Amino acid sequence: MGMFNRLQLPEAMECPNCSQRSKWWVQFVYSALNLSNYQIGQRLHWADWGDLEGEPGAGHVRIQGVLEGCPLCGFHLDDVDKFYTIEVYDDVIASVVKDATGNGYWESDWVVIPNC
């Protein structure tokens, strides 16, 4: 896998392995790819080091997030539970929710949602 960034899930989640609650992280491939750690509400970086994925100011962008292992014990959930959907508006991370579609990996890591 190439470079990516990380977004921390806003709600703590219990690990089925170690039974501890903590805030897990999802990895995503968008903006300047340099292992930045983001929280909901933060603005994506475009001017730091790292390759750029996408373009600044693209409006509404939907990004696929892939869950990392448990922050405390490293346990990985089953594949069906590892996909998340991140919504970005004007380069600000607005939300992250579990992807319940069961579609797995998208064809691309992100997609611009047209205004309608």
| Residue ranges binding Zn ion (CB under 5 A) | 15, 17-18, 70, 72-73, 75
Query: Which C-beta is closer to Zn ion: that of 12 or that of 112?
Result: 12
Question: C-beta of 4: minimal distance to Zn ion in Å?
Answer: 21
Comparing CB distances to Zn ion, the nearer of 73 and 113 is 73
- Residue 115 and residue 56: Cα distance in Å, rounded? 16
- Least gap, CB of 25 to Zn ion (angstroms): 13
Rank residues 32 and 66 by Cβ distance to Zn ion and give the closer one: 66
Q: Which two tokens stand for residue 53?
A: 């994925």
In the complex, what is the shortest distance from the CB of residue 69 to Zn ion, in angstroms, rounded to a whole number? 8
Cβ-proximal residues to 48 (8 Å cutoff; 6+ apart), any chain:
32, 34, 36
